[in-house]
């Protein structure tokens, strides 16, 4: 299991979480950035997090990013983005491969406003991509190209990191509360039983 828990920078407030405090994002300029680690380069992964959006995600006019490891300023490859899509396609996952080609996975599912929802995205080494809500499978893709292993960008919570001309900037801000982010460098089985147990979750 891995999660970069060493914050490089934090520009957000705090609110009551599932247990203790959580990160509160205002949807305008709040973010948390955490350090890069080599485990991020695995072709298999699991990212999971509890979210409590303050807005109707079916009505947003900009992407609202939950977790992101965005564009590398040197390679221009973006390895991972878990977000609510602004074009009405719901909870979504995207990443780029080593050829800088983007791959998108849409669910048409919108987490409820002002309620906690556990969301997770997984990819097996063999290429099976799955997205879950509250431990239930929303959608599965049986094959996919491997995500880039040429991005050394840090991870961002509640926003995305983009790069233009080698200069990083933060965008696509989440509005609401985020709690209990976790990641693994392999596909981990997500189920309602797993979601109900916090023993497997590393809190930020």
Instruction: Evaluate whether residue 1 is within a structural domain.
Output: no
Is 66 among the domain residues?
yes
Give a yes or no: residue 202 inside a domain. no
* pLDDT at position 30 over 70: yes
Cα angle value 136/154/68 (rounded, 5°): 30
User: What gap in Å lies between CA 103 and CA 124, rounded to an integer?
Assistant: 15
pLDDT averaged over the chain? Answer: 87
Q: Cα-flanking dihedrals φ and ψ of residue 170, to 5°?
A: -105, 140
Strands 136-141 and 64-71, bridge-based pairing? unpaired
Q: Is residue 36 pLDDT above 70, yes or no? A: yes
**pLDDT for the residue numbered 165:** 64
Tell me how many helices (H) and strands (E) the chain has.
1, 16
The DSSP annotation for 98-162 comes to TT--EEEEE----PPTTS-EEEEEEE-TT--EEEEETTEEEEEES--PPPPS---PPEEESSEEE
Domain assignment present for residue 96? The answer is yes
- The strands making up 155-157's β-sheet, listed across from edge to edge, are 7-11, 31-34, 155-157, 64-71, 78-84, 91-96, 102-106
* pLDDT for position 40: 78
Please check whether residue 106 lies inside any domain of the structure: yes
Biggest CA–CA distance in the chain, Å, is 45
In a domain, 204, yes or no: no
- Cα(125)–Cα(112) distance, integer angstroms: 31
pLDDT tens, position by position, 130-173:
999 999 999 999 999 999 998 888 889 999 987 766 657 789 99
pLDDT of residue 202: 39
- What is the tally of structural domains in the chain? 1
pLDDT interval class at 4 (50, 70, 90): very low
Q: Per the structure block, which two tokens stand in for 94?
A: 């995207």
What CATH number corresponds to the domain at position 53? 2.60.120.200
Average pLDDT of span 168-187: 89
Round to whole Å and give the CA distance between 78 and 25. 23
Alpha helix stretches (DSSP H) within the chain: 192-196
Domain assignment of residue 201, yes or no: no
The whole domain housing 64 covers 7-196
73 inside domain: yes
């Amino acid at each position: 299991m891995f999660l970069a828990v060493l914050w490089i920078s934090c520009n957000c407030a705090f609110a009551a979480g599932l247990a203790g405090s959580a990160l509160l994002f205002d949807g305008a300029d709040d973010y948390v950035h955490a350090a890069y680690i080599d485990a991020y380069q695995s072709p298999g992964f699991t990212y999971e997090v509890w979210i409590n959006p303050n807005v109707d995600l079916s009505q947003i006019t900009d992407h609202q990013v939950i977790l992101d490891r965005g564009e590398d300023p040197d390679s221009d490859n973006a390895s991972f983005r878990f977000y609510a899509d602004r074009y009405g396609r719901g909870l979504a996952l995207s990443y780029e491969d080593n050829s800088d080609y983007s791959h998108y996975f849409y669910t048409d599912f919108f987490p409820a406003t002002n309620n906690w929802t556990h969301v997770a995205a997984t990819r097996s080494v063999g290429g099976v991509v799955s997205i879950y809500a509250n431990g239930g499978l929303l959608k599965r893709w049986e094959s996919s190209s491997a995500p880039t292993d040429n991005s050394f960008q840090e991870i961002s919570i509640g926003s995305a990191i983009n790069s233009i001309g080698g200069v990083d900037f933060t965008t696509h801000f989440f509005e609401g509360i985020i709690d209990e982010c976790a990641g693994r460098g392999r596909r981990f089985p997500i189920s309602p039983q797993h979601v109900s147990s916090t023993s497997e979750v590393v809190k930020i």
